[in-house]
A and B are shown apart, each in its own frame.
Chain A
């Protein structure tokens, strides 16, 4: 019986310790410094057991950015504006990089519409052609990715992306 109690104590402490390494683990939006990427906004810093539990029970770790009555934050917007386009690129960064390499896909269709460009095929080819400069990998800050994609869309007159003019 004593052994059982000891075991419970160990499990309990271990469960807590798993997170002790991670004092900032509260998934608070780091909007403003880290853009609207998935890493900071959706997944937070939860790892291992707690992450599994949170997903099982549909728990979140208090992300104020997405409160219904909170003041507006760019990351919650999905409007067809320049800032909406920027949010979209940041939130879909990994999926957009994949579609860009393939020259087609849902994120390119959506990006074309948000930025008000004429033709998604042309947008797809442009992103594919400039893939390496626009999407250099995850170590590049997400805001740099969104800025350079928007710049590239603007620069190409043939794309006629009038929303982000």
Chain B
């Protein structure tokens, strides 16, 4: 309890510092960025420490984190000095008391609530949670940046690790160990997501409303945004329940083990033998329920933060100081920075945008698209202040600054990261079933449609929308045809197809002939959204709602584009399927379309008449999505039945593997963070295989091999070559001299001999005797022995 309190006090303080730092920069937003400052604070703090550590200016620990905090405090002092002196800040706080209280209540409730949930299900012992904990312990104890990969000693982590770093930074200051920080961090990020979505919904509503008195409704809009994005599920559970009820004799769904998992696999691709190909369709609540602190979970609030910055950019460009953007009346740099409200604003956008690459690279295209599209839309909306060509050129310059600046700022990450993406694959064989797509987005689409309907104005042309739809459909067909033709000949460079050499294009036609529904429906919605967007951009109307509607429709365009994209192409990774592309794109689409749906409902509700009926219907469509959370929570936590709730992710070891737990504590206390502690090589999803690296972050020769293969791609063979054999040579030595030689040549400091190693390598007494002779026994509790390299 005290630990959680200490933790949340720091998070709140850091958020406040971020708010004060960006007070002036986010002045276009009705909440001045207060809601998004929760995640922004932790992001800036962690990034400052990471940058400092990358350039050896700061140590990765309490001292470095404290100096980063000091730097943030300095920024806050500079950023808010004038506002405090002039009393503007005080007056804003007085006027926005309701908002501040509401967002704090939402944030703290989400944090406390998720702490409660995690305390009944704390163990990081299933799916990829051990891997997430391993990364957290590794970055927490790393003395250098990039941190060493605990499952491939001698090589840096080849994964998006900045999210773990952010949690570790909070842990450094509060003195919270990684196994506790794992669950506290997850609860904090749940709160961040709620606060960020709350702020985004609130800002859009208040901008549309334009009345300060509407704050209570704005708060309601914010809460609804948080609930729709963070709690609502897809329709898989209600549909399963209904279908089971209709089918006689079937067993009750909720009695099945891990029934809640099914909602994350609603799209089913099939291979050429009729077998199922796994496609992940997670949504935010499922990710939290599962409890993996994965990059996509950690990047969620950051993506909403980027959307908030994009809104600020959009408003700054659309409402910027008159003349500031006029060519000839301002320097190119001033015109560029004016898009973000000044040079510090541009730096902020570059830093936050650039961080996406190191938190979850999959979010980079969407994040950059949000910022760039926001800027372009704002400039076009400003109309008279410049020509369209000028706006486009300025946007190109802005995009270049964001991309190059972000890349340069996070250069140390890019230099050490290797991509697992091997190319681009045209989706010739797996069109999404329209029913499955409906199950996935059925709760959100009605709200989106409602928004497009509400935004349809007298200047919107159905014929143009139709032409646009035709254009998209034809482009899609041309893309699939042309790309299919190219890869038919083997492909080349980035364009390839893992299945095509064996399959004819006829099979592709056959599959598409029965599965065009999703493509046509989503492309139609996209075409409508594009036409509505265009009509708003070129409109001469002075409607006060126009800017907000334009930005909301822009979000809809991006969200629908993300849903459409996996129909046409996917990234070729080590799985060779579109599993990850669908997963990551749908996930981002959920965030954007969730916010759009809420705005659609609110806009329609404000129109009265038939529109209000539509709003009610769209609201009702959300309700089935709320069936899932409570029973899923009950099932995952075994009915909240734990006798001793705890937030310690490793508490299960104390109970079930006490001897190994004792050995792990010894390793943590008595070895340096970069000591190579050899364990057996591990099978994916098996924490017991690599407990040392998971619990202590100490590197071993080879951890979960399957995952290393995923992260390293084609380089895996070269990087991991000889390690399996070295492990066998260590655990089954032929002589003490040979053992000493292999230990020396692989830079091994300690050898961990536990039950898993004895079992996998069949370590005999003779082998142990050679370990005694060739190394030094440093720890022994009967179950685990740890040997140290001589010298």
Our verdict on whether A and B bind, yes or no, reads no
A contacts, CB < 8 Å to B? none
B contacts, CB < 8 Å to A? none
